[in-house]
Chains A and B, each alone.
Chain A
């Protein structure tokens, strides 16, 4: 006769778990180098969920040591999810308003500390203060990963600076990209192939200031269509070695030939003035003959400032160190690039498994920052730190456990070496803030900002920079008096 069996089933199952949890204590043990995570005796009775592995805990314990090295901690750190919600709501509300003079206040997120009698951003501010009187255009190169690709963030910063300073055009345009840009429309011929300094690594080959060069070989013809969507005064083609028989024709939207140029310079970097009428914003570029090494195009004002976007998806940033210093110095000098904004970090958080890897990436960023600092000579470098990135643990999204340590190391490297640092992680609200940003439609869970999120971040960066600029002007005035 069949029997009622639930009690047996419960007994078997509970006995099994009793052995696993209380006798074998499998939580934290390793099988084939894989740490077993299971309900431990402690979290069975105390906490419901503690999925942080021992390795992660080791890194967490390093947090205090690293923090003690840093210069200061930002003023506001939300302590709970509700505080975080209130804080992020306030950021959203502020971002909806136009920026007034009264909004330009000291920012706890920007570190512009004097070192050897000089503030890191002074060189930038000097150019900015002379942007009206100078007849030259000065450029800011914005390097970053997918957070900025397609002119994202750079476009927002350009727009904000445009409201106060002379700033026209869209700056640097790569010949091809995987994402659609936000500030212009581009249709590239599929024959364009991108070669990067970090994947192709051909010695003696030049990859330009962005680490990418484009060629359409073996084809003998290629094209590119653009709708600039904004006004500009000057248009340039950046290229390297060209052949005598290579010709670039530029057509208007009505297929009228606007300009024709021989692309035949032999030096590593050439900026060819395309002599286009600024009325034409819909353009077609047709290249004929053997492919030159093209770095990209640029649409700018005649003077003022310009922001160039060099977005490299999936990159930690280290690949840019493969661009020789001498080449960067030459290009920066030829394009009048006086400042670099460097924004990497999101692609390394998964790689930080222990103290060794944390230090490895810390050193890597220090070297990367110094690479740009040296190339710019007296120019300014602004480091935008890592943003919050989440991962799925037990189906619940939470921040990677090592982001604040990475941020601390980035900040330390920047500040100690005469560079400015903007703490985007703390601006977001710190640990687990990306979860709330995601819920409010400001960012995806991997930390990529939405239009709204980007606007918030860029406005805060702009306001922080403007406050430092005001301080700079006051200092300058005092010196002159």
Chain B
């Protein structure tokens, strides 16, 4: 047994082809070392936060390399701007500073994330051939840290945050907070910064809840999301030409299930990791497939983004256009979903996806009266039908999220709806029995009453920490087996 010193060097340096991920051994080891130190110094806020900052920046360096300096630079800029907004008494300067922050943050986001999108759009529309002589790489998580930083400056300017943060170290921890830097949830400064300034005892209760969330996240990701993607949905979306219409039809559901379990699993994982450190960050999901309509869905799905867009995009636009009543409300909805679509991805498919969702909400507003009447008349049937229709709408619209371009999505929809042969379903089921079963069981679990889970959680909470740790260790080994399993063979429906 020889220890290879070069391994430490490998662990500590950035490798673009192997960015650090939460579910890696490398992260497990480095996090354990950090967590040990963090726990020892938990009573000294300064040392604890310094350690946390070091780990956050190191983690970001490991996933994004030298873009860590862009993150530090932008955070520093907003830190100063927020202080300047707070200090100045003149409204004009407040607005000017806010505009500067907006320009830098949104400018950086557009430059890094949307330059190619706009160039391609111009080329397509004007049949020109504009190209860049250099390559733009996107800093990972830019959509998240820009929104976090921008919301802080807006909150200071709106005086929602009465006193801006005085310690840049703490502010930088907030912006670069490693559990949610990659894919949220988008925490607000007013929620996280106070936690950085207080001592938090991490008791058995917190650890058990954190372990529960981490376990749930890993199971959702490895057992459901990764399995469905590797063995069905990714294959279909990768080369739909090789699959039958029934494959495509079912993959629209599988794609949605994969998206939810991947994202909510990830969220549970990061909320759990944050909780291990003693920080509470709000989750992002609340049984979204129970949604009865699309506006209900957005209150249950990616909640932190929904709240951010509601606070900083929808409400200001709706307020500005309030005199136009319904038309103003509709414009505010479409503008919000346009931004939401673009934020999700620099592709027209996301814009159309946002448009679909915006349209669905507008239809809800217009049909409010009729729907209320129907709801009063039919009650349970109405609820069931609403959930069923909403789920199908989500599944079919999610094809756009999984499509690389509009033409691909169009062809996918065409094959899925026009040429469908439901007679092939039994053959499809015989091939994809395992992914289908996992999908159905995972979905059924989503519809069970929350009280059942609360009961089970209460039982779990009574276990001693030693048992919880052992069970967690066993679960990790089992999940490692599942993750190490070969994907199922690539089989296609024969006829």
Count residues of A near B (Cβ-Cβ below 8 Å).
Answer: 56
Bound-state CA distance A37–B485 (Å) is 9
Q: Which listed segment binds B: A96-104, A106-114, A445-453?
A: A445-453
Q: Which listed segment binds A: B32-40, B253-261, B355-363, B393-401?
A: B32-40
Using A12-B465, A450-B239 as known contacts, say yes or no to A178 and B494 having CB atoms under 8 A apart.
Answer: yes
Q: Which listed segment binds A: B2-10, B126-134, B179-187?
A: B2-10
A42 on the B face (CB < 8 A): yes
Bound-state CA distance A340–B205 (Å) is 70
B452 on the A face (CB < 8 A): no
B469 contacts across to A, CB distance below 8 A = 9, 12-13, 16
B494 touches A38 (CB 8 A): no
B109 on the A face (CB < 8 A): no
Using A12-B466, A26-B477 as known contacts, say yes or no to A46 and B7 having CB atoms under 8 A apart.
Answer: yes
A333 on the B face (CB < 8 A): no
A270 on the B face (CB < 8 A): no
What is the minimal beta-carbon distance from B294 to any residue of chain A, in angstroms?
32
Q: Which listed segment binds B: A125-133, A238-246, A386-394?
A: A386-394
A7 touches B40 (CB 8 A): yes
- Interface centre among A7, A16, A36, A450, by most B CB within 10 Å? A16
Using A4-B39, A179-B241 as known contacts, say yes or no to A17 and B473 having CB atoms under 8 A apart.
Answer: yes
What is the minimal beta-carbon distance from A378 to any residue of chain B, in angstroms?
34
Partner of B4, one of A12, A45, A180, A394: A45
B491 touches A448 (CB 8 A): no
Interface string of A367-393 (1 = CB under 8 A from B): 000000000000000000000010111
B495 touches A350 (CB 8 A): no
- Interface centre among A41, A49, A190, by most B CB within 10 Å? A49
- B interface majority secondary structure: helix
B32 touches A45 (CB 8 A): no
Using A20-B477, A48-B25, A445-B238 as known contacts, say yes or no to A8 and B465 having CB atoms under 8 A apart.
Answer: yes
A117 contacts across to B, CB distance below 8 A = none
Partner of B32, one of A14, A51, A81, A393: A14
Partner of B489, one of A12, A38, A180, A350: A350
Within 8 A of A (CB), among B206-259: 207, 211, 222, 226, 230, 234-235, 238-239, 241-242, 244
B473 contacts across to A, CB distance below 8 A = 13, 16-17, 20
B263 on the A face (CB < 8 A): no
Bound-state CA distance A34–B485 (Å) is 11
Partner of A178, one of B35, B480, B483, B495: B495
A8 contacts across to B, CB distance below 8 A = 465
What is the minimal beta-carbon distance from A93 to any residue of chain B, in angstroms?
17
B234 contacts across to A, CB distance below 8 A = 445
A481 on the B face (CB < 8 A): no
Q: Which listed segment binds A: B116-124, B196-204, B339-347?
A: B196-204
Interface string of A405-430 (1 = CB under 8 A from B): 00000000000000000000000000
Total residue contacts A-B, CB cutoff 8 A? 140
Using A6-B276, A10-B36, A350-B489 as known contacts, say yes or no to A178 and B241 having CB atoms under 8 A apart.
Answer: no
Q: Which residue of B lies closest to A347 (CB)?
A: B489
A391 touches B466 (CB 8 A): no
Q: Which residue of A lies closest to B230 (CB)?
A: A392
A445 contacts across to B, CB distance below 8 A = 234-235, 238
B202 contacts across to A, CB distance below 8 A = 4-6
A9 contacts across to B, CB distance below 8 A = 207, 211, 465, 469
What is the minimal beta-carbon distance from A146 to any residue of chain B, in angstroms?
6
A3 on the B face (CB < 8 A): yes
A395 on the B face (CB < 8 A): yes
Interface string of B53-92 (1 = CB under 8 A from A): 0000000000000000000000000000000000000000
B484 touches A394 (CB 8 A): yes
B204 contacts across to A, CB distance below 8 A = 2-3, 5
A313 on the B face (CB < 8 A): yes
Using A16-B473, A178-B244 as known contacts, say yes or no to A6 and B494 having CB atoms under 8 A apart.
Answer: no
Using A5-B465, A178-B244, A444-B235 as known contacts, say yes or no to A45 and B486 having CB atoms under 8 A apart.
Answer: no
What is the minimal beta-carbon distance from B283 to any residue of chain A, in angstroms?
22
A179 touches B242 (CB 8 A): yes
Q: Which residue of A lies closest to B225 (CB)?
A: A395
B483 touches A350 (CB 8 A): no
Within 8 A of A (CB), among B370-402: none
Bound-state CA distance A131–B25 (Å) is 63
A314 on the B face (CB < 8 A): yes
A159 on the B face (CB < 8 A): no
What is the minimal beta-carbon distance from B96 to any residue of chain A, in angstroms?
45
A262 on the B face (CB < 8 A): no
A146 touches B1 (CB 8 A): no
Partner of A16, one of B239, B244, B470, B483: B470
B472 on the A face (CB < 8 A): yes
B490 contacts across to A, CB distance below 8 A = 346, 389, 446
Q: Which residue of A lies closest to B404 (CB)?
A: A441
A391 touches B7 (CB 8 A): no
Bound-state CA distance A37–B7 (Å) is 21
| Interchain Cβ contacts under 8 Å between A and B, 20 examples | A4-B42, A4-B202, A4-B203, A14-B32, A20-B477, A37-B480, A38-B477, A42-B1, A49-B25, A180-B241, A314-B492, A392-B226, A392-B486, A395-B230, A395-B483, A444-B235, A444-B239, A444-B242, A445-B234, A446-B490
Contacts A5-B203, A178-B492, A180-B241 known; 11 new A-B pairs at CB < 8 A? A3-B203, A5-B204, A8-B465, A38-B481, A45-B1, A48-B24, A179-B241, A313-B494, A394-B483, A444-B238, A446-B238
> Chain A residues in contact with chain B, CB under 8 A?
2-10, 12-14, 16-17, 20, 26, 34, 36-39, 41-42, 44-46, 48-49, 51, 81, 146, 149-150, 176, 178-180, 190, 194, 313-314, 346-347, 350, 389, 391-395, 438, 444-446, 448, 450
Rank and list the top 7 A-B pairs by shortest CB-CB distance, nearest first. Answer: A12-B469, A6-B39, A16-B473, A392-B487, A446-B490, A350-B489, A444-B239
